Amino acid sequence: MTIDAEFFAAARDGGRVAIATVVASPGNPPVGAKVLLRGDGSREGTLGDAGADDAAFAAADELLWAQSSELRELEGGLSVFVDVTAPPPRLFILGAVDHASALTKLARLMGWRPYVCDPRTAFANEERFPEAEEVIKAWPDAAFEQLGIDRATFIAVLTHDPKLDDAALTVALRSDAAYVGALGSRRTQEKRRARLADRGLTEAELDRLAAPIGLDIGAIGPEETALAIMAEAVAVRNGVDAR
């Protein structure tokens, strides 16, 4: 399969692939040369120069997970256009609570893929979350292992139960997730941070946590809280410091 054919197949099937095509060059590599990067990190093709390959793949890797196509100017007068196709981002919602219902609805409306995870089967059922891609009835570590976490995964912890919150955050903050947030007041966050530090999380890992979760828009109720969370997640996805 050619590079172009693989890209079009990925676009059709919801895969994650980026093509970097030379659009300006001092002569070598030639205009039109291209390389392909897959979501699993594997590569296809060469521009005929190891340095050019590394630069093109680095640009492709960044944009592949930002889910953005754009022109990149590299060193030596070389420019590539990186074309990306990727599935919608995933939102893992820990805690089958009322806020989770509102968040699931809004995420689906925005074209994201929401998943609800909670080991409490009395709360975690498909009838309560019809918009969810899947409802996972398992502890956070098992749910994360089942779903897998990548750089296009966003995680919202909403349970208010330290046993579940801490288990989820211990895994999430050490993962490749693009965003990890947790519900709760600033006082709750201080206690949570201390517990997570006792679990061995580093300052750098703890600093990844968006807490209290969501932009400060004075949200009242589940629906407005969902709006605040999605606004923050979208800002992170687009590389904007909206806090």
Which residue range is the domain that position 29 belongs to?
3-85
Is 78 a domain residue? yes
Residue 130: CB atoms within 10 Å: 11
* Range 166-193 average pLDDT: 93
Same domain, 75 and 139: no
Max distance between CA atoms of the chain, in angstroms, equals: 65
Same domain, 107 and 57: no
pLDDT computed for residue 62 by the predictor: 93
Q: What is the CATH number of the domain that holds 120?
A: 3.40.50.720
pLDDT computed for residue 216 by the predictor: 92
Query: At a CB cut-off of 8 Å and minimum separation 6, what does 234 contact?
Result: 110
State pLDDT tens for residues 201-233: 999 999 999 999 999 999 899 999 999 999 999
- What pTM did the predictor assign? 0.90
**Distance (Å, whole) CA 36 – CA 222:** 42
Same domain, 111 and 47: no
Domain count, the chain: 2
State pLDDT tens for residues 79-137: 999 999 999 999 999 999 989 999 999 999 999 999 999 999 888 889 999 999 999 99
Same domain, 141 and 165: yes
pLDDT computed for residue 132 by the predictor: 96
Region of residue 27 (left: phi > 0; alpha: psi -120 to 50; beta: else): left
pLDDT of 234 above 90: yes
Is 62 a domain residue? yes
**Distance (Å, whole) CA 209 – CA 139:** 20
Last residue of a domain, one of 26, 54, 85: 85
* Mean of per-residue pLDDT scores for the chain: 93
State pLDDT tens for residues 11-42: 999 999 999 999 999 888 899 999 999 999 99
